[in-house]
């Protein structure tokens, strides 16, 4: 009996050794991100989103443990803020490190976005994301990144920016367009009498007939393999479908500026600087007949620096869809991810001014131009 018990104990020992769990003892790898943004085609290549003043963004991570068909919220239902660590020089979750799963069949899908407003409407999923009735302000910035499908480690970054050697490749698209207005006053000195000069002051500048609210619906689908895949928008040209009615955007009102720029052009040096209204974020949309720059300005005539005559509330109006870019093509739409710069020239000098001290201003339409940056 004693011998039997000893043999049974040995057998149990052998069985226990055979069923011992074999653990992956390799070092845990924290999840990092390699981040950049798409830019207009006139630029050279991808740039960091830090160039947009963005040092953090939101991300949802969907863990498919052991290759499960359905993913779980690895970063939580609301997602995790991803921040740029300027000391260590990498992008990573703000709350605490998250680690890659070690099971060879496990993978994570990553959905990332940035919005300095409320953010997407409803749940952000692996295959859908939407903004509903989003109002666009002058400094708003909305971006979304291509979905990173089926990633398992940091070793497959494609866009390695800011010194990040590896991480989830996160490439952002700008969802909005920007419009910049530049004003120039010429000539400011009477070519027949250098002692006579003119100052042009903008009193009001309004952008009319612009949609500033819209909805954007994005969809995606599993690549079936590791890699990035862009979102498909319901509106393929503009991303957004306008909602509400067009409205007016005051850029300058009673000399109280809504953007940082000088309204007075007292010298030729200022004239040549092409001073302008800071680029304003706008909803991508078609540029229609109702979209205009409506301007009022004043002209002050001076002799040897002393004002002798002023005319105020001089009106001017420019239809935006009549303006052409540097390729001589009329700009009939504001597309996402582009900056449109409109250069407006005001000419305060006419022959009548030289003869009569009554000020009459010309709007020199042939000098109105538009360029795309």
Q: What is the mean pLDDT of residues 308-313?
A: 86
Q: List all residues 6 or more positions away from 7 whose beta carbon is below 8 Å from its beta carbon.
A: none
Asked if residue 279 and residue 192 are part of one domain, the reply reads: yes
Is residue 14 one of the residues assigned to a domain?
no
Q: Which of 32-36, 259-263, 330-334, 353-357 has the lowest mean pLDDT?
A: 353-357
Asked if residue 144 and residue 272 are part of one domain, the reply reads: no
Distance of alpha carbon 229 from alpha carbon 215, whole angstroms: 22
Which residue range forms the structural domain that includes residue 76? 28-175
Is residue 7 one of the residues assigned to a domain?
no
Under the banding of pLDDT at 50, 70 and 90, the label for residue 366 is: very low
**Which pLDDT value is given to residue 107?**
97
Is residue 22 one of the residues assigned to a domain?
no
Distance of alpha carbon 184 from alpha carbon 202, whole angstroms: 11
Q: What is the pTM of this model?
A: 0.81
Q: What is the mean pLDDT of residues 228-243?
A: 96
Convert the pLDDT of each residue in 290-307 to its tens digit.
999 898 888 888 888 888
Under the banding of pLDDT at 50, 70 and 90, the label for residue 354 is: very low
Under the banding of pLDDT at 50, 70 and 90, the label for residue 66 is: very high
Asked if residue 190 and residue 147 are part of one domain, the reply reads: no
Asked if residue 268 and residue 322 are part of one domain, the reply reads: yes
Asked if residue 192 and residue 336 are part of one domain, the reply reads: yes
> For the chain, what percent of residues have pLDDT higher than 90?
40
Asked if residue 304 and residue 202 are part of one domain, the reply reads: yes
**Which pLDDT value is given to residue 42?**
38
Question: Total structural domains in the chain?
Answer: 2
Under the banding of pLDDT at 50, 70 and 90, the label for residue 76 is: very high
- Reading the block at residue 179, the tokens are 């419009």
Asked if residue 193 and residue 83 are part of one domain, the reply reads: no
More confident residue, 8 or 21: 21
Phi, psi of 223, rounded to the nearest 5 degrees? -65, -25
Domain boundary among the residues 124, 155, 175 is at 175
Contact 6, 63 (CB under 8 A): no
**Which pLDDT value is given to residue 143?**
92
Under the banding of pLDDT at 50, 70 and 90, the label for residue 359 is: very low
CA distances from 197 to 297, 303, 348, 349 (A): 16, 7, 10, 9
Asked if residue 338 and residue 264 are part of one domain, the reply reads: yes
pLDDT of residue 175 exceeding 70, the answer is: yes
Asked if residue 164 and residue 111 are part of one domain, the reply reads: yes
Average per-residue pLDDT for the chain: 78
pLDDT of residue 324 exceeding 80, the answer is: no
Is residue 2 one of the residues assigned to a domain?
no
pLDDT of residue 346 exceeding 50, the answer is: yes
Distance of alpha carbon 48 from alpha carbon 86, whole angstroms: 13
Is residue 4 one of the residues assigned to a domain?
no
Convert the pLDDT of each residue in 106-153 to its tens digit.
999 999 999 999 899 999 999 999 999 999 999 999 999 999 999 999
CATH code for the domain of 73: 2.60.40
- What sections of 243-308 are H helices per DSSP? 268-272
**Which pLDDT value is given to residue 127?**
98
Convert the pLDDT of each residue in 243-271 to its tens digit.
999 999 988 766 666 655 556 655 555 55
Asked if residue 151 and residue 33 are part of one domain, the reply reads: yes
Is residue 101 one of the residues assigned to a domain?
yes
Asked if residue 283 and residue 271 are part of one domain, the reply reads: yes
Q: Which residue has the tokens 């070092």?
A: 27
Asked if residue 314 and residue 336 are part of one domain, the reply reads: yes
Q: List all residues 6 or more positions away from 52 whose beta carbon is below 8 Å from its beta carbon.
A: 37, 141, 143
**Which pLDDT value is given to residue 199?**
80
Is residue 135 one of the residues assigned to a domain?
yes
């Amino acid at each position: 009996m004693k011998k039997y018990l000893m043999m049974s104990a040995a057998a149990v020992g052998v069985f226990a050794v055979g069923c011992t769990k074999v653990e992956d003892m390799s070092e845990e790898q924290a999840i990092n991100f390699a981040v950049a943004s798409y830019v207009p085609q006139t630029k050279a290549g991808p740039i960091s989103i830090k160039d947009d003043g963005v040092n953090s963004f939101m991300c949802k991570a969907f863990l498919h443990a052991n290759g499960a068909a359905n993913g779980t919220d690895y970063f939580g239902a609301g997602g995790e803020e991803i921040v740029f660590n300027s000391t260590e020089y990498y992008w990573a979750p703000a709350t605490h490190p998250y680690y890659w799963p070690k099971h060879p069949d496990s993978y994570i899908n990553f959905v990332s976005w940035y919005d300095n407003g409320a953010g997407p409407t409803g749940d952000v999923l692996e295959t859908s994301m939407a903004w509903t009735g989003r109002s666009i302000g002058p400094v708003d910035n909305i971006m979304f990144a291509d979905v990173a499908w089926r990633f398992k480690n940091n070793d497959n970054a494609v866009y390695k920016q800011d010194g990040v050697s590896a991480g989830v490749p996160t490439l952002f698209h700008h969802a909005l367009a920007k419009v910049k207005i530049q004003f120039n006053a010429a000539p400011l000195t009477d070519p027949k009498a250098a002692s006579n000069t003119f100052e042009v002051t903008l009193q009001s500048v309004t952008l009319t007939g612009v949609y500033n609210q819209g909805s954007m619906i994005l969809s995606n689908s599993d690549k079936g393999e590791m890699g990035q895949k862009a979102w498909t928008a319901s509106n393929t040209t503009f991303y957004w479908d306008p909602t509400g009615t067009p409205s007016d955007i005051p850029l300058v009102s009673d000399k109280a500026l809504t953007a940082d720029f000088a309204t007075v052009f007292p010298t030729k040096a200022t004239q040549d600087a092409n001073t302008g209204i800071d680029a304003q974020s706008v909803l991508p949309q078609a540029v229609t007949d109702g979209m205009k720059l409506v301007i009022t300005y004043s002209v002050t005539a001076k002799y040897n620096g002393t004002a002798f005559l002023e005319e105020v509330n001089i009106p001017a109006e420019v239809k935006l869809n009549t303006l052409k870019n540097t390729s001589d093509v009329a700009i009939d739409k504001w597309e996402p991810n582009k900056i449109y710069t409109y250069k407006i020239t005001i000419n305060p000098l006419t022959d009548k001014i030289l003869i009569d001290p009554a000020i009459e201003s010309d709007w020199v339409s042939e000098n109105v131009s538009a360029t795309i940056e």
